[in-house]
Amino acid sequence: MSLDLITAANAVVAGALWIGAANKALQVWRAPEDRPLRAVTATVLGMALEFTVRLSPVGVAVDAVCGPGTAGLVANLSALMCTYCLLAFFLYAAHDAGGDRQVRLQLVPLVLTMVTLILAFATATPRVRAHPTDLSLGPQPAAAVYELSVAAYLCYSIGTILRWSVVCMKVTEQRRLRRSLALISAAFALALVASVLRTFVTVMTWIGAAGLDAVRVATSLTAPLVLAGGLLFVVGISYPAAAGMVATIPVWWSHRRDFTALYPLWRALHDAFPDLQLPTTRYRRWRRLAWLTRTHRGYYRRVIEIKDGLVQLAAYCSPDDSPAGDAAGYARLVRNAIDAKAAGRAAVSPHPLASRGGQDLNSDARWLVAVSHAFATAAGAPPAGTRRIRAERRFPSPDSAFVHRPWAGR
């Protein structure tokens, strides 16, 4: 694999990790008491820092400011820290409240490895610090200790993580989570192979066998394996959220279609009872960009306001006004009640309109959509469709979830 391709792949993985880190940080801000979530967030942050520092321009800049080899030291410390945090995640998930003791015990090998790594770096020459894996330098005690301490801890921690992830994958019942754990397991399997190869190269260099073809092949495979593992890890932790978003698209489209189809009935009821409008919540500008959630809010709001309006029509319906079982008969009764309200003819004996929906809001919405279609057809209006959506955007209704009303509540 060419150097330019490795750098480009490293940049892609680093960018994806920073996006994932920002997403996880937002989740931690919303649920700071969630310890497994905090551990995953620290893992993603550590991996993002590691892959960023390993980028050639960033590494050169860090070495120029802090001395040769500093970028590699930061990358290795980040790798140690992120594997520890991911190990903490599995310990919290497996032991719940009892995981604190296990997590603290795992700090012992981590701290010992970090101290050994820093001491080996401090005692090495500048050339060895800058290129600890350079085979042409021959056996270097500081470089051997530096590389072996990192590789040994990574083999231990990644092997433990791989075992826990496989166990969790087998026992989980959620398909998305199982697929996510399978991808994460594959990612750490590649990382484990890379750590083993790193250990092999270090040992062979120490005994003076760096010229063997097997050592060169192992050296050339380490970086691609780490990159492939990092990419699989990003895909694995992102898969449940991405799959959930894809699964919500049909629901969003259905809610948007029903929101539009309910407009004729909602408009008539709102004109008859302007006070049925629910209070409008003011959102910050960045939250108004979440058009998927705005669609759901508008859909639920419109259905509830229509149901409230039908309740208020009870004062203009008598027991003799029993609607037929179809939507057209129900729409005629609604029209008659609205006309009676406009003329000021209240019923002598008010009678509520019987609901034809089901036991939940979505089934009510399906019935109200049919009534709205019949209502619009009886009035000679075209069915609510694309033109209606455009009209609502140009002339937003008071409850429109597609347009924020910053003047509401002032």
Q: Which of the four pLDDT bands, split at 50, 70 and 90, describes residue 113?
A: very high
Please check whether residues 99 and 242 belong to one and the same domain: yes
Please check whether residues 237 and 356 belong to one and the same domain: no
Please check whether residues 330 and 232 belong to one and the same domain: no
What's the pLDDT tens digit per position in 267-293?
A: 888 888 888 777 666 555 545 444 456
Per-residue pLDDT, 348: 59
Considering its fold, how many domains does the chain have in total? Answer: 2
Q: What is the mean pLDDT of the chain?
A: 78
- 19-33, 46-60, 195-209: least confident range: 195-209
Per-residue pLDDT, 407: 28
Please check whether residues 142 and 273 belong to one and the same domain: no
Per-residue pLDDT, 109: 92
Looking at residue 326, what DSSP letter applies? Answer: S
Report if residue 28 sits inside a domain.
yes
Please check whether residues 195 and 268 belong to one and the same domain: no
Please check whether residues 229 and 358 belong to one and the same domain: no
Report if residue 251 sits inside a domain.
no
DSSP labels for 178-223? HHHHHHHHHHHHHHHHHHHHHHHHHHHHHTT-TTSHHHHHHHHHHH
Report if residue 409 sits inside a domain.
no
Please check whether residues 71 and 214 belong to one and the same domain: yes
Please check whether residues 91 and 29 belong to one and the same domain: yes
- The pair of three-digit structure tokens given for residue 234, joined into one six-digit string: 């990003």
Name the residue range of residue 40's domain.
Answer: 3-246
pLDDT at 370 over 60: yes
- Give the integer Cα–Cα distance in Å for 309 and 300: 14
Report if residue 371 sits inside a domain.
yes
Per-residue pLDDT, 279: 66
pLDDT at 316 over 60: yes
Q: Which of the four pLDDT bands, split at 50, 70 and 90, describes residue 108?
A: very high
CATH number of the domain within which 187 lies: 1.20.1070
Per-residue pLDDT, 272: 84
- 230-239, 273-282, 325-334, 384-393: least confident range: 384-393
Per-residue pLDDT, 325: 65
**Higher model confidence: residue 295 or residue 108?**
108
For 373, residues 6+ apart whose C-beta sits below 8 A from its C-beta are: 261, 327, 383, 384
What's the pLDDT tens digit per position in 129-187?
A: 777 766 566 567 788 888 888 888 988 988 888 888 888 888 887 888 888 888 888 98
Please check whether residues 202 and 278 belong to one and the same domain: no
For 28, residues 6+ apart whose C-beta sits below 8 A from its C-beta are: 34, 37, 38, 41
Report if residue 282 sits inside a domain.
yes
What's the pLDDT tens digit per position in 349-368?
A: 666 666 666 677 788 888 88
pLDDT at 403 over 60: no
Report if residue 256 sits inside a domain.
no
Looking at 218, 246, 274, the residue that finishes a domain is 246
Q: What pTM did the predictor assign?
A: 0.66
Report if residue 254 sits inside a domain.
no
- Give the integer Cα–Cα distance in Å for 265 and 367: 12
Report if residue 408 sits inside a domain.
no
Please check whether residues 77 and 201 belong to one and the same domain: yes
Please check whether residues 225 and 294 belong to one and the same domain: no
Please check whether residues 213 and 266 belong to one and the same domain: no
Per-residue pLDDT, 399: 40
